[in-house]
Structure 1
Amino acid sequence: MTGPVRTAATDPPGDALVRGIDRDRRRTLVTAVEPALDGIDFVEVLSNRPDMPGHVPGAPQHRTLAVHLLHGPVAEGLGAGPGDRRVVILTGARSDPHALPVQVLWAYPAVALVGDAEHPPAALDAQVTEADRALVSTAVPASIRSKVLVVRTATPGGRSAYVLRLHGPAGQPAPAGFDEPLAHAPFRFDVDCPSDLDCRQRTTPPPPDTASPIQDYLARDYEALRTRLLDRLAVLLPEWTDRSAADIGITLVELFAYMGDRLAYRQDSIAQEAHLGTARRRTSVRRHARLLDYRVHEGCSARAWLAFTTTADLVLPPGTAVTGAGSVPGQGKPTVNDAVQSGAVVFETCHPIRLTRARNRLALHSWGDTEQVLPVGTTSAFVRVPYALDPELRAGDVLVLAELGPTGRLADGDPTRRCAVRLDRDPVERTDALAPSQRVLELHWHRDDALHSPLSISRPDAGQDRTAAVAYANIVLADHGASIHGDAPDPAQVPKVGRYRPHLRRTSLAWAVPADPAPVEGLPPGSPGWQSATDALQPDPRRAVAQLELDDGARRWLPRADLLGSSGTEPHLVVETEEDGSSRLRFGDAISGRRPTPESIMTMRYRTGGGSQGNVGVHALNSILRLPDDSRLDGVAVTNPLPAAGGRDPQPSPEVRELAPRAFHTRRQAVTSDDYARIAATDSAVRQAVARTRWTGSWYVQQVALDPVGEADSQLLDRLAALMELRRTAGVDVDFRRTSTVPLDIALVCCLDAGTLRSEAEQQVRDVLSASVLPDGRQGLFHPDRLPLGSSVFLSDLIAHTMSVPGLLQVEVKRFCRVGDRAQENLACLARGRLDASPRESFRCASDPSRPESGRVDLTMRGGA
């Protein structure tokens, strides 16, 4: 831009007189006191840039100055022709007129160059061109040309500050009639720089030096702030000495101290909650852990198997509440609200159940054996029912097998001799010729529900067979928590503007895992259900969801772990629980999750309970709480024959701080061969697995060798294939194979002392070298769990286990090799002292005569009795 340059006194001029005078004030003073005096008002640089309005072709750029006087007109002889020194330009740092970086070629009044209404242009020096006249005519209006002096310089100046000085004749410091301070004017050649700022530089005086007291920035509580405010006021207002609590000044001081305390606490809290290691609020810890892909669990409700007995067939709806008899004070039949108010432990059924008399109690059938005991690990049994009753047992039903007490009552029986089982196939009807009036059903249940303790199903009583164990079939799963209906969050109404973050009026919101059972044939990928009765009592707290549901009159709002996967139209919310049990609700922002409708009213249904307090003992749940139709409960009794399990308290924050950083480094996807083997071994039907990479000629294949607990059926392979599809690396196929089983050939010569029975000693040696579980709970030397894939069998272990038998004096090993090895290989193994296996091989030595391919142990007993 082109225009006036109004330079303040802080510009670095080249004269001490200019540096010490404020030109604006001097102009005002001269105009008011001595209006006859003249001076320089400002200096205008005519840039004549091509991209600016009024450009004149042929005229120089940044070399023409228009010196505007205060009053004018320009006096005769003020101009300067070529070589005249009456108009000089000095740099800001150099005032020597003999070392000027910018020289003046000529200086003429604007009237002499272009004329005005009263004066025509004058004939001037040949250095003045028509382009110069055209530039001045365009830039200087005709009304002010009489008080404008046009100066042409030899070169354009730089970006530093310059001073234009007007001299009088014979070297006088100022022309006649000029104020000497105003005969100088600072200016800059770069006035048309692209800047929106004011070119004038303003100065402010430096603040006075004051002594700053030493402040304690940690003293920011209420008392410290109040003391410091009173000390400061004592300095500012020494006449105010009233320190009464009723004084308005003291009230304001205390108010400001209180607000400062609150602000300081908030400032410290924000800085503290910004890091996982220092955060105190559980919500902050949970969000930091989520950034590390670690999910913090909020606890889990306990589960229990409830056994009902009824005198009439009926259907109980889901959510039927039970509690302990006598745990709710008062008379009459209590309700759920009564139980919640009294703090009783309440369980609610997870599914509807059809109660029938035929399922009340089924006697286990012993086929006439008066002392039959089902051993540990049993997965099948028989029950008998009269032909007049049909329990309608199907695959997927859950039964509780329990020993009765000496009186024939369940309450008198041993609680450790009970087991919940889930049938994995439909019962098969059998016929017992000795009991023609009763139907015998063969039951078979899931392998995970195998008996964990012996179960006596009959006992002698006066020479007759008496039932000692029964099966309860009116079984339903229940979890800890009491439902609250008709309540509302606080506040219940969504505001017109701002975020809606209500909180629950009650604490101890229940968190539970969805209790849908899985199909009988196996747990499909992504199914939240349980596969066996044992698995049902072991819920994963990380899959627990808040037992809460909101309704705004138009839609239901359901809880989610987070809103990252929710669209802007899905009514989802997040429940954030603090250490004290209070909970807040967080809704979406119309991008991740739906935003609640303004001014809508929220109602909710939720459940209270959960945590480890729900792990109650046996027979602790024996009272049904009041239902809308109590007539249906006549003749219905309930109990929990097994203790409740699975209740977990919320994960402690210190544990999250320790585990969350480690979980970030845990690889969930299968990348290496060890990853594929580790993922395959997570299935309960796989004892161990090993994987290796193979190139097919076109792509890589991970060959995973499995060592299953039983037979590797198609269901197991389907489950593993579906699991690997989610975890495998793109472009890598997975091939499942069985591991190679290597049978062993072992021959021992055992020497006994004279007092040891040979037959008993031989049986004990075969037991310690077997592949089964011994009666005392120990495992034999060749049990599959003791022989991992690729592990070696040492000769020293074989001798040590054999010598542990009492009465054994000496052991000599004749053969210690694989089945089929020659004598030279046997001698090499004996000399080496161990049998080595490849990573895909496992040794077996079951010593089963009907299965010689599983290995054998030959014993030669010498001595003894």
Structure 2
Amino acid sequence: MEFDFLPELPSSRLDDRSFDDLVEECLLRIPRYCPEWTDHNLSDPGITLVELFSWLTDQMLMRFNQVPRKNYVAFLELLGIRLQPPASAQARLTFYLSTNLLEDYTIPMGTEVATERTETQEAISFSTDRDLVIGQPQIKHILSAVGDSLQSLNDHTGEWQPQQSSLASNHEFMVFPQQPQPGHSFCLVFEPDALLEGNVLAIHFTGTQGTPTGIDPNHPPRRWEAWDGEAWINVLLQEADDTTNGFSFNEHKVEGRQSEPSGEVTLHLPECWAAQSFAAYRGRWLRCILTEPTAHQPGYSHPPRIRTMGLRAMGGSVQASQSVKVQDEPLGVSNGKPGQSFEIQTAPILERRVGEHLLVSPPGQPPEIWEEVEDFAESGPHDRHYLINSLEGTLQLGPLIREPQSLKRQTQARAYLQQVLPEERAPGQDLDAQMMEHQYGEIPPRGAELMFSYRTGGGKQGNVQARTLNFLKTTIPYVAQVTNHEAAVNGADAESLNQAVLRAPHLLRSHDRAVTAADFEALTLKGSGGAIARSKCLPTSANQPAGSVSICVIPQANTDLIDRGQGIAPETFNLNPALREQVMHYLDERRLLGVQLQLQQPNYVGVSVQAEVTLEPAYQNPVAQAEILHQIQVDLYRYLNPLTGGPERDGWPFGRPVYPSDIMALLQQRIGIQYLGAILLFPIQYNGQTWQRQTTPVPCIDPGPLGLLCSWADIHERTGHSVNVLTPQAVAMRA
């Protein structure tokens, strides 16, 4: 391990003799110790032995000079720096019920779902982080709004009458006003006390015959949203979940006769669906808002009409982490001695949660819950404390330490006791009481049984792809299927020694307190447990409140997708609520009073590169050409990436533009390329719903002061890179 990243202070070698110096020194000693040896040529067997032992001595000196590195690691241990364990990946699991239930149904916390086990790969298990309650939806108000502010609302609740589990009307109802315009919305307000957080809601609509709307049913200009307490978020997962096709209700026939058109909208409600009041209407808000039509997307010419509407909760989504629960694992029996250490069966160990602790059962007494601490510095002899090495999987009990001045104090105590008569001594005042040995942490009595509950898992292998978590490890009643509609994120491997060395200076500067910008950045990384790869404290702006600190974070992602030639999509770097809450809680305990914290995400800008290359004649065969083209794609995805990109390959710098010359310099390093043709850059922007690739190239792509560049492959959105191979004849014609 080389500490090239440390400050280059002058350091002396403990022994700076080289191999040549050792050989020369041996030759100089030959006339003194063996004067009859006169043949000093390389062919002499004695010289061969001298060179052999000089080489062995040189190897020992090289290892001897590594002692300062060992001391540096020992200093890290004295500072209490430990290697952080792997971070578990986070995924949102969606459970679908097999039937419509008439009362609330709970899927318990800790339900395990796994990927498919193959011949080459073990199944990866995820467990839910909390209980999932699938409730009974009840509509409180039915409204229509003209503007996005929801200050001008029209109440249509009286036009509907509840009929069993649905709301129905005896006449037609216009979803939007007579002349629908972008910004008009159809709002449903649910009862605020209903347990609907994270539920999958199915709304069945029945339309009217022959009502034209003027839209393209395959691309309706509308968006289904729910208010999560801070903003409106999209709850329609995909267009296929809306079989009404934007309330257009394509006519269909059943058994030779024309039936009443109907359809169903499946919405995935947010896990934080807060009750809110708009214009004196309080409840959980859901709306269908008209959006601005695009150039090839017609808007609504007439308002759609519906006759009936039914509701049902068909499932729910809950946050899950890549982990396996181990409950009450027996560690062994205490021998009553201090400093005991116990091996935990499965490592590494994830961060402990409520209910995950050490349970000590003394003989003939009820079990006791012990407390985990970071060190024994403040542990007394009667404190039930223990340490956990999460990476190695060991549990340590308190040691017995002899104090530095114990010998001197024992001599003084012995002299004092010799001068005092036994009957004059205070109760308990004897020689053993003055031994000056301190016990840090209580010792379990001899014969006590130790059991430990924990979770194991973590690592980048947990960043599984979407729709791969499909297998329940235990049967759950009424659950028909389970899946993850989005890829798992934030899984990270254990911290390396080099990373710990880099973290040490930040720890010494901040002293675990967030004051400066560098403190907030370092503590954000530490508080995430490795789940956040990069952090940047944003400069204070004019419109930012005084005393507020904004931190831009980039979570970890599975970089294996780059090697596959796919890149990493910006959605992979989204900050999930569980990780946000974890980091905010960690920083909240270390910030100054009055400081307001905000975690933000960068403004990602996509880059699509179109390049022309000519290969060397030796690489003109199809196999070599395909391999080089794949490597070029990998180079581009790795270079234009928030984690692995940039000139230093440690992540694309914030606010740095990309130019065609950057791509040219990158491709010139690839072996097999003889000539580079045109290099074109196409920016990819997010319009609120999808990513759109600009049709014309630009001279450079500037993400903005706090933006980041990203590249990924998507066939539908045409976000990937394109590399064309030119033949020598085509190059000659261009010349």
Name the TM-score, length of structure 1 as normaliser: 0.33
Name the TM-score, length of structure 2 as normaliser: 0.38
Richer in strand (by share) = 2
